[in-house]
Each structure stands twice: as C-alpha cells, then as structure tokens.
C-alpha cells in the first residue's frame, strides 16, 4: 500500500463546469503524476510534479491544469469540462530512488 | 505517435500453462521497462521491471525478457493461475526523463480452468 488516495472516486458533471480531482499521499514522495486511462490508449500522462510548486506537462495536457502547494497533495483541474475528458484518472507517486510508480485507486469522471 | 505498442489486445490461456505477453517500442532512448497488472476498478499495480543493462529479470512466476536490438520485451507468466486474469500494461521510460512513462494499450489476459 503506497498510501495514495484519490477523491472523489466517482463524479458526474456537466459540460462547461470546472472540476478538481485530488490526489493525496502520506509518504512525502517527491514525484507525483496524473494519468488518464482510455480504451485503446493505455495510460497517458497529463501532468507531473517533481516537487512543491514544480510541475510540467505530459503528452495530453490540453484542457488540464495542476497545482502542488504541499508535498502530499497534487490537484488536477479541468477548467471547463468537455465530453472528451470523460475518462478514468489515476494519480501515481514515485519514490525518488527507484523508477517504479505506484498508483492510486482512480477517479471515474463522466462529463455529460 | 504511440511509442510503446502491445499488439495483442487479448490473450486466453489455460490454467497451469505459460502466458506470454509481448511489447514493442520505437524510442531508442528508453532504458527502463516495467510491467503493470490491473484489475477492474483498481489502480495498476507494479509487477516487474528491467533495466536495459539486463536481458532478463525473474520474480517468482514472472520473467521479463528484453531484446534491445529488436526493441522488444516480453512477460512470461508460468504457471498461469486464475488470479492472473487482468489487464497487463507494459511501460517504458528514459531514466533521465523525470520518470515519465509511455504505456502500451494493454493486453487482457483470461486464464481458463
């Protein structure tokens, strides 16, 4: 158990509304990641963080922003949700000394 | 541009037999590879990894093989068990890339009695 929680676990929202997903870790790992999982695509990196206030874009960052004001929390925001952002979102952490990432339980987001 | 490809979306195998999952990559900068297992409604769980300085890594029933010249890796599960029924993702990274992984699309494994 890597001590990662995600909230909410499920959310249904309407097109055009803002949505924030939260990832919380209990072990103060430096590296945190947000992915989305879609059929036929595996997991695709949205944004990642390598420290407090240090973030960068992944391969599918359009329409998403992130913030990390504390080591333990990494927030993913959809400023104006679209139906194409319907997906399952996973947060991951990486202990700095190894390359393996450990994933949270996921958030299923539906944009109607 | 998918740099990591799992060309078999599904695999059915009998309990006790060997499961072989394949993964191809195109980026020659990748030097670290992992396999993850995912059950429905759960996050992926780390299974096994291999560095490009090795061509084989074993952990119990799981063995990963790396063929750098072919840009190909495979995961062998032997013997397969019903609890191995899951989606398996391969992932690749360059170790100087802040741990940014590229994932394959996944292979659904079904182990039948």
Q: Do A89 and A107 meet the contact criterion of CB atoms below 8 Å apart?
A: yes
Q: Give residue A95's pLDDT.
A: 85
> What's the confidence (pLDDT) of residue B104?
95
pLDDT band at A97 (very low <50, low <70, confident <90, very high): confident
Instruction: Note whether B8 contacts A: Cβ–Cβ < 8 A.
Output: no
The stretch B47-60 carries a mean pLDDT of 96
Of B4, B36, B99, the CB nearest to A94: B99
Residues 6+ apart with CB under 8 A from A77: A18, A19, A20, A21, A64, A65, A66, A67
Report the pLDDT averaged over residues A85-105.
Answer: 91
CA distance B63 to B61: 7
Q: Any residues with CB less than 8 A from the CB of A44 and at least 6 apart, and which?
A: A35, A36, A37, A38, A58, A59, A60, B103
Query: For residues B41 and A106, is the Cβ–Cβ distance under 8 A?
Result: yes
**More confident position, B99 or B42:** B42
Residue of B32, B93, B104 lying closest to A42 (CB–CB): B104
pLDDT at position A2: 63
B contacts of A42 (beta carbons < 8 Å): 4, 6, 89, 103-106
- A1 falls in which pLDDT band (50, 70, 90)? low
Residue A32 · residue A95 · CB < 8 Å: no
Which of B31, B43, B51, B91 is best to mutate for the A interface (most A CBs within 10 A)?
B43
- Look at residue B19 and give its three-state secondary structure: strand
**What average pLDDT does this structure show over A27-36?**
94
Tell me the HSE value of A32 on the side-chain side, using a 13 A CA sphere.
Answer: 34
């Amino acid at each position: 158990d890597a001590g990662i929680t995600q909230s909410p676990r499920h959310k249904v929202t309407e097109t055009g509304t803002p949505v924030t997903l939260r990832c919380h870790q209990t072990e103060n790992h430096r590296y945190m990641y947000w992915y989305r999982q879609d059929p036929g695509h595996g997991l695709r990196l949205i944004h990642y963080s390598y420290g407090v206030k240090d973030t960068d874009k992944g391969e599918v960052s359009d329409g998403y922003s992130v913030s990390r004001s504390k080591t333990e929390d990494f927030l993913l925001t959809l400023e104006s949700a679209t139906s194409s952002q319907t997906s399952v979102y996973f947060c991951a952490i990486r202990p700095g000394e190894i390359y393996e990432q450990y994933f949270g339980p996921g958030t299923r987001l539906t944009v109607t | 541009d998918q740099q990591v490809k799992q060309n078999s979306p599904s695999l059915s195998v009998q309990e006790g037999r060997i499961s072989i999952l394949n993964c191809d990559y195109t980026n020659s900068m990748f030097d670290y590879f992992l396999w993850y297992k995912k059950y429905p409604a759960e996050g992926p769980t780390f299974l096994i990894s291999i560095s490009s300085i090795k061509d084989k890594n074993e952990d119990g029933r799981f063995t990963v093989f790396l063929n750098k010249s072919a840009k190909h890796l495979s995961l062998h599960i032997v013997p397969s068990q019903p609890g191995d029924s899951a989606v398996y993702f391969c992932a690749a990274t360059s170790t100087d890339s802040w741990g940014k992984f590229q994932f394959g699309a996944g292979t659904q494994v079904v182990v039948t009695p």
